[in-house]
């Protein structure tokens, strides 16, 4: 399976009758961040012009001197659509087995890390421990291995999560629409998929083997999830792998076009920068091609472009940056994060996917939000 054309599908991968992929890749290829001027940025900030072009301008180098202006506008848009509410959640990794060879990831199947998978009893104990913190939203994650973490296993985790949480999210390997429908029936509310990069050549280079090498199958995951009844879908590029401006632009256009096609779908973004991760031989992969001001530029541009979309700020970032981002444009923040397997209810059983930079507890994040005049919300939905 290693080395197959990254633009092809493997057996059993569902094909979606959609032109969104073609349109996004066309937009990605055409986007030249350096073509925009100060006048273009001022026009975008004033609300004039076409939204997609304004978004492109706000991501460009020409917009860097106007970051404070963009932040003020983004803060106003956030207040208009979300008030002062900020939502808390935590990720729960239930398995770190993986069949992919992503060169930037600690779960790479060739990495020498401790592999583990929680059984249903262990999953429930982890969830009980998380629920005691007061959180009512959880994000379930696995390594990308249908063999070790099949859809039935993930579905059982969703059913267990429904006993403790009002909102259940998934960040797992892409599956077909009927499998998303099954996971929805089990209790999954939303699905997040990191495309990693929209640069097809770079994508093939950093995914030398595994099912993840199929670019179009991963690209269409959000659409298959919506087709399967999942109410919310999240989009992200792993910023720093390739040209972050073009990747952020493509992620925004991807979400924009999907929302136009499926107006009922709830849209959200994550804006993760790549973090150090142990991989073969103990080496690290940690490009520094996007700094904090540039990351904030991405976040504010997304808020202005799609003001109603949720934006998650990752624990990959440091506490100071996260506190500022959630005051300006981010609407969801993780707390009490552990990216290994187990550890909340007992001894940690498996290795971590990447390093985090903000290890504050739920209580500490809660108090930070209150001090900033924001309302911490433990659950976005109540089910009656």
Residue 41: predicted pLDDT:
98
Residue 249: predicted pLDDT:
98
Rg (CA), the chain: 20
Where are the extended beta strands (E) located within 203-283? Answer: 232-237, 266-270
Residue 280: predicted pLDDT:
40
Residue 274: predicted pLDDT:
83
Spatial separation of the C-alpha atoms in residues 37 and 61, rounded to whole Å? 9
DSSP H or E stretch at residue 257: helix 244-261
Write out pLDDT tens, residues 188-216.
999 999 999 999 999 999 999 889 999 99
For residue 185, give Cα distances in angstroms to 155, 168, 191, 229, 272: 8, 12, 14, 9, 29
Q: Which residues contact 65 (CB under 8 A, 6 or more apart)?
A: 38
- Secondary structure of residue 115 in the 3-state scheme: coil
Residue 381: predicted pLDDT:
55
Residue 282: predicted pLDDT:
39
Residue 340: predicted pLDDT:
79
Contact between 109 and 99 (Cβ < 8 Å): yes
Write out pLDDT tens, residues 133-165.
999 999 999 989 999 999 999 999 999 999 999
Residue 352: predicted pLDDT:
52
Spatial separation of the C-alpha atoms in residues 139 and 127, rounded to whole Å? 11
Q: Which two tokens stand for residue 341?
A: 């397997």
Domains of the chain: 20-377 (3.20.20.70)
Residue 247: predicted pLDDT:
97
Which residues, given as ranges, of the chain have pLDDT below 70?
1-3, 276-288, 347-354, 379-384
């Amino acid at each position: 399976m290693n080395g197959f054309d990254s633009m092809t599908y493997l057996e059993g991968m569902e094909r979606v009758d959609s032109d969104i992929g073609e349109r996004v890749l066309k937009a990605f290829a055409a986007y030249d961040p350096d073509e925009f001027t100060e006048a273009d940025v001022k026009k975008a900030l004033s609300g004039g012009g076409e939204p997609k072009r304004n978004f492109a301008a706000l991501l460009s180098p020409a917009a860097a001197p106007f970051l404070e202006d963009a932040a003020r506008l983004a803060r106003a848009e956030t207040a208009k659509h979300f008030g002062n509410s900020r939502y808390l959640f935590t990720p729960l990794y239930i398995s770190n087995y993986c069949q992919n060879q992503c060169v930037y990831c600690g779960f790479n199947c060739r990495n020498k890390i401790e592999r583990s998978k929680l059984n249903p009893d262990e999953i429930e104990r982890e969830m009980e421990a998380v629920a005691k913190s007061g959180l009512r939203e959880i994000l379930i994650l696995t390594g990308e291995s249908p063999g070790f973490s099949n859809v039935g296993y993930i579905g059982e985790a969703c059913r267990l999560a429904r006993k403790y949480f009002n909102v259940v999210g998934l960040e797992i390997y892409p599956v077909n629409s009927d499998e998303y429908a099954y996971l929805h029936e089990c209790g999954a509310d939303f699905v997040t998929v990191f495309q990693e990069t929209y640069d097809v050549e770079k994508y093939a280079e950093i995914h030398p083997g595994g099912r993840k090498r199929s670019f179009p199958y991963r690209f269409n995951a959000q659409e298959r999830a919506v087709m399967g009844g999942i109410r919310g879908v999240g989009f992200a590029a792993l910023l720093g792998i390739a040209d972050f401006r073009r990747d952020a632009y493509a992620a925004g256009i991807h979400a924009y076009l999907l929302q136009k096609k499926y107006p009922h779908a709830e849209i959200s973004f994550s804006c993760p920068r790549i973090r150090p991760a142990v991989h073969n031989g103990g080496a690290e992969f940690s490009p520094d091609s996007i700094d904090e001001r540039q990351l904030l530029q991405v976040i504010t541009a997304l808020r202005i472009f799609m003001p109603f979309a949720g934006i998650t700020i990752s624990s990959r970032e440091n506490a100071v940056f996260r506190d500022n981002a959630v005051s300006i444009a981010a609407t969801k923040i993780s707390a009490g994060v552990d990216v290994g397997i187990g550890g909340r209810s007992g001894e940690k059983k498996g290795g971590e996917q990447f390093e985090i930079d903000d290890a504050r507890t739920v209580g500490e994040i809660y108090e930070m939000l209150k001090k900033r005049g924001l309302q911490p919300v433990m659950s976005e939905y109540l089910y009656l």
